[in-house]
Copies of this chain bind each other. A is one copy, B any other.
Amino acid sequence: MIKVGIVGGTGYTGVELLRLLAGHPEVSLEVITSRSEAGMAVSELFPNLRGHVDLAFTVPDVELLASCDVVFFATPHTVAMALVPELIQRGTRVIDLSADFRLKDVALWEQWYNTPHTCPKLIEQAVYGLPEVNREQIKTAQLIAVPGCYPTATQLGFLPLIESNIIDVDHLIADTKSGVSGAGRKAAIGTLLTESSENMKAYAVAGHRHLPEIEQGLTMAAGKEVNLTFVPHLTPMIRGIHATLYGRLNQDVDLQSLFEQRYANEPFVDVLPAGSHPETRSVRGSNTCRIAVHQPQGSNTVVVLSAIDNLVKGASGQAIQNMNIMFGFEETTAINHIATLP
């Protein structure tokens, strides 16, 4: 039984952490913080938790957080980097769902997030929490940077191709589609039902903060710099990311085998049979990434389809997967839900 704290529990990744951790047999939820909602029962804000989670939000208290074995940050960027150093120093392990420790290049981080990074030395120490790449380092990590939602779906789709050095990494394309929960739980006009349902649009084509994160991961896999065109789209649904990935093959390979072998031992990556089309609903509420690979019309363009639930494998589920690995629990504990369909 480990003691767990959550900083920033009023957003969608916060409630999703609660939904999943409430069923974890090795976890004791000790504290969940929110400055704005301090004193309110979490089940008042999130009525689905009635009868399952008895905690109330509290103002962040370093003593209390430091008494936990692990603290999750489900906060906007810049919050974690202010609190994490003290927690790490006092021996509490940290799993940060925000972007604060994802980029290894501090200057690049400061450019994309447009603010100084106040804790650059922890960046080096932080482990990028994509278990399919970094499982060994995760086991002993003190600080995990949980990958973003688009980066998870996109990297898992491209990795087999890039690691085996069979595509042109100078001209990768990721056409990605996200449900609206990716924008978080905050009052805004653009994500009202009236504005975002019955609608499809691209956004941030000029540049999205997940671009450098994806390029960093793919560059590591390639062993050389990659170049990605990344076009995200807002899709009229609550949950789900569908990444459609394009690259140019430089040799003829059995793609289906390549993918199946790469992920043969991964509990949360499911390579579909040849010819399949993964649906986001098939992973809704679950921690699975479902992938299919195509080579249409016999051309040398490969098309990878990759689907995840942005709040689970793209955030809170993956965060718990990291926790399970860090503390030696069965990796699938509490995140082995079957997607609800329909």
Q: Which residues of A contact B (CB under 8 A)?
A: 12, 15, 19, 22-23, 46-52, 171, 173, 175, 177, 179-181, 183, 185-189, 191-203, 205-207, 211, 227, 229-231, 233, 235-240, 242, 244, 246, 248, 270, 272, 275, 277-286, 288, 290, 294, 296-297, 299, 301, 303, 305, 307, 311, 337-342
C-alpha spacing A342/B240, complex, angstroms: 12
List of B residues within 8 angstroms of A246 by Cβ:
173, 175, 229, 246
Contact A200 B338 (CB under 8 A): no
11 contacts between A and B (CB under 8 A): A12-B194, A47-B278, A47-B290, A48-B340, A173-B246, A175-B244, A175-B246, A187-B192, A205-B277, A246-B246, A285-B285
- From B201, B231, B282, B311, A280 is in contact (CB under 8 Å) with B201
Give the nearest-CB partner of A191 in chain B: B192
Residues of B within 8 A of A303 (CB): 205, 229, 231
For A280, the closest partner residue in chain B by CB is B200
Q: Given the interface contacts A282-B47, A342-B181, does A229 sit within 8 Å of B301 by beta carbon?
A: yes
**Given A12-B342, A188-B187, A206-B294, A198 contacting B201 (CB threshold 8 A):** no
Report yes or no: B233 in contact with A338, Cβ–Cβ below 8 A: no
* A194–B185 touching, CB < 8 Å: yes
Q: When A47-B290, A173-B173 are in contact, do A199 and B280 touch as well, CB less than 8 Å?
A: yes
